Amino acid sequence: MRVAVIGCCHGELDKIYETCSKIKPAIDLVLITGDFQSIRDEYDLSCMAVPDKYKNMGVFHEYHSGKKVSPILTIFVGGNHEASNYLRELYFGGWVAKNIYFLGFSAVVNVGGLTIGGISGIFNKSDYKKGYFETFPHDLRAAYHTREFEVIKLAKFNGKIDIFLSHDWPQGIEHCGDTNDLLRRKPYFKNDIENGNLGSPLNKYLCEHLKPKYWFSSHLHVKFNAVINHSDGNTTNFLALDKVLPYRKFIHIVDYPSVGEMKLKINLEWINILRKTMKLMPLGNQNVEFSSLCNENELKENEYDGDLNPIDFEEHPSIAKFCSKFDISFPLNSINIY
């Protein structure tokens, strides 16, 4: 299996698929590490947190409408420049177009024998302990701030993860690679590095806990590789990629043994984690302590034994339909989608 990992997409789907079409042997799977920009219409554009001069409809709406079809199965996580209203409708993940899948705010899926995990958004120290309170198009920045709730759910995953996707880097990852070379190319990173503020402490925790074989990020628009040596002898190969522009290092190819068909399924252990935790999803603009989520005895649920296929693509995705299929308790009437 040939996997193409992409940096910040910024709506450049045509360029991504054109680049992939020139690579031989052919690419089987595309993974995008954020700033995907799934903009369907002008309202979605108004819900993306960027200065007006950078607002552009892009080409995604042509894939969403069916005018164009992705030639390669594509999976992406959210970044800090997204149609946040649309991605909120797909909180658990789902198809945004034929053959293009949003991984969700946090999730683990299986494709062709690979286990792929990911988390959307970027870290913000003021918001990470809060619940989900945003309304659109009013709270555009808080909407893409990663919540601790997503980290706690992922930390409960005990299986092996082959590839993990995030938008911002794990905190401190620069010390596991060539820091001097990074500073030569990005000298304005110096203060953040010296103060320990480069990257996300939430992603650092997840990297240390999950120990995936590969971790891919973007956000900072520079290619950077590092190796994390874990205390148990495992290693994680980290790579950050640049944004999709000519002559920029925005793509990396991973060759992986293929086991089974190239069909996306939601990971069974992940579904059972959702069934145990989603009833405790925090809502509101207050900091929340999550001690109850650490007590598994309070969160007993029967194991899920149904099919693991995601909900088919829909023009108007339904969180309720996902919850019904996988028997997940969820505060549907409280979360703000619009």
pLDDT tens profile 281-338: 988 898 988 765 655 544 456 789 899 999 999 888 888 899 999 999 877 555 554 4
Q: What is the pLDDT of residue 246?
A: 96
- In terms of Cα–Cα distance, which of 147, 95, 106, 105 is closest to 124? 147
Specify the DSSP class assigned to residue 10: T
Tell me the angle at which helices 148-155 and 268-277 cross, rounded to the nearest 10 degrees.
130
Specify the DSSP class assigned to residue 143: G
How deeply is 268 buried, as exposed, middle or buried, from its count of CB atoms within 10 A (0-12, 13-18, 19+)?
middle
Q: Which residues of the chain have pLDDT under 70?
A: 291-301, 332-338
Cα–Cα distance for residue pair 118/209, rounded to 1 Å: 14
Cβ atoms within 10 A of the Cβ of 332, count? 11
- Bridge partners of 215, per DSSP, are 164, 238
List the domains of the chain with CATH numbers. Answer: 2-326 (3.60.21)
Q: What is the pLDDT of residue 127?
A: 96
Question: Are the C-beta atoms of 227 and 238 separated by less than 8 Å?
Answer: yes
Give the three-class secondary structure for 229: strand
Q: What is the pLDDT of residue 297?
A: 47
Q: 216 phi and psi, to 5 degrees?
A: -120, 135
Helix/strand number for the chain, H first, E second: 10, 13
| Residue type for position 317 | P
Cα–Cα distance for residue pair 287/290, rounded to 1 Å: 10
Q: What is the pLDDT of residue 122?
A: 98
Q: What is the pLDDT of residue 302?
A: 72
Q: 164 phi and psi, to 5 degrees?
A: -120, 140
Question: Are the C-beta atoms of 135 and 338 separated by less than 8 Å?
Answer: yes
Question: Are the C-beta atoms of 209 and 167 separated by less than 8 Å?
Answer: no
